[in-house]
Amino acid sequence: MSLELKNGKVTKCFSVNSKIVNELLPYIVTVVSVFQVPLQFYVFNNIHWIIILLANIYILGEYVIKNRGKVYISRPLIFCAIITVWIAISLIMVPSILISVIGALDYLIFFAFWTLFFACRNNISTDFYISFLIFLGLILAILGIYQYFVDYTVFGIASFVSSINTPENAARMSAFRASSIMTSTQEFSMFMGFSIGLCISKWNELKFYEITKWIFLGVLFLGGIVAGGKVVALIAGIPLIIKSWELIKKRFILSKQRVSIVILLLGIFLLFAFLFKDRISHLAKSVYKSFERIFIIFTDFKRFLHQENTRSKSMGNIFSDGFISFILGRGLGTSSYSAYNLLGSRYNFHRTTLESYFLSFGYEMGIIGFINFIYFFYGAIIKAKRKHEELWMLLLGIALSMFFTPTYYSFSMFPISGLFVYIYYRDYYTEDRLIYGKTSH
């Protein structure tokens, strides 16, 4: 971005270099977010925080300069504004504003970037970006498969995250779950479900050969299996079920080519089974346990309630600790691992483990947090469905899974948050209301 002095006034001239930066920035931040572990392993700790904060500062500066005081109201902007306001409100509940600031960053660092990015009228090719995300998912899946069958440490990167990922420890585990080069098995499971869901939802729009798409889907599914988490089924299951039902209604019949592809993929899996007999038996146990966790609500409801005890207690705490807590919550940062890790001992506050991204909104921001969550996330799903945007199936799977996992605090949430914000800004020029100033077309 360059500034020129003309007729005594500063006019804004966005150079070609600025345009290139704006086009590349989402891809750069996505790579940094998804591959934060190898970046920290090979460069230095917390480099991803520095890069992403700098990207947010840059896009905020561009927003201020481009809009010159004009504010365009949209649901993503309201969502971010409520969380920002809650930093101040949280001061009556937490011992330091630093706790609430860090708690707010857990939510805002992803959504604020995309909101400002689209509010600056920056364009991004969604089809290309989705293909890019699937490609990243393939890399992670391949590394996860490699970790499961060949090297538990993934060239030492996985051991950097957890001491569990060593040959000695993994050998003692009855059902080892791969984490690829991500921070946890849950995060890897989430990204595999996300990648599979993208592939299924946008199947017709993906500009690959039919056999290539099937191979990609097979690799992603195997990556999801070795991850062994129920969140894969929760995220990818919704688009899979809806797409399958649509095909059944259309009386879809497999062509000879598709049957051949399915047979080829089964042949590859059988080859894996022959070459890695021991690991396949462990894999079968992992798959069985994952399905057991998913369907336990139907087979053993008492055990399901016992497993969901943490979430049940958290829900009870939200609604049983006085009117103020019910309306305003316990304050931003009170369920944040980042805030507790950095400031817990200094300010002697305790973090509440919720095991649910959805419940964290209610616990930290009360009933207003729940309303803010539903207003933004489920509003995006309804809007996408009305606009016949096939991503609505994936967004629904993601939103439902948010009740069962806190993993959406992770940096791999960045591209997921981008899809939710994109839904609101795809008709930005015609539907968003201008609060101050005039819209320029």
The per-residue pLDDT string of the chain (441 residues; one tens digit each, 9 = 90 and over) reads 344 444 444 444 445 567 788 889 999 999 999 999 899 888 888 888 899 999 999 998 888 887 766 767 889 999 999 999 999 998 888 888 898 999 899 889 899 999 999 888 777 888 899 999 999 999 999 999 888 888 888 888 877 776 555 555 555 444 567 888 888 888 999 999 999 999 988 888 888 888 888 889 889 988 988 887 778 888 888 888 888 777 666 655 555 555 665 666 566 666 655 555 555 566 666 666 655 555 555 555 566 555 566 555 666 666 666 777 788 888 898 888 888 788 877 777 777 777 788 888 888 898 999 999 999 999 999 999 988 888 899 999 999 988 888 888 888 889 999 999 999 987 654 444 444 334 433
With respect to residue 440, please indicate whether it lies within any of the assigned structural domains: no
Pair 437, 70: CB distance under 8 Å: yes
With respect to residue 320, please indicate whether it lies within any of the assigned structural domains: no
Pair 361, 372: CB distance under 8 Å: yes
With respect to residue 324, please indicate whether it lies within any of the assigned structural domains: no
**Residue 160 exposed, middle or buried by CB count within 10 Å (0-12, 13-18, 19+):** middle
With respect to residue 298, please indicate whether it lies within any of the assigned structural domains: yes
With respect to residue 409, please indicate whether it lies within any of the assigned structural domains: yes
| C-alpha torsion 136→140→141→143, nearest 10 | 140
Q: How many domains does the chain have?
A: 1
Q: What is d(CA 357, CA 311) in angstroms, rounded to the nearest whole number? A: 10
Q: Which domain holds residue 223?
A: 2-313+331-433
With respect to residue 97, please indicate whether it lies within any of the assigned structural domains: yes
With respect to residue 47, please indicate whether it lies within any of the assigned structural domains: yes
With respect to residue 326, please indicate whether it lies within any of the assigned structural domains: no
Pair 120, 171: CB distance under 8 Å: no
What tokens does 87 get?
A: 């930093």
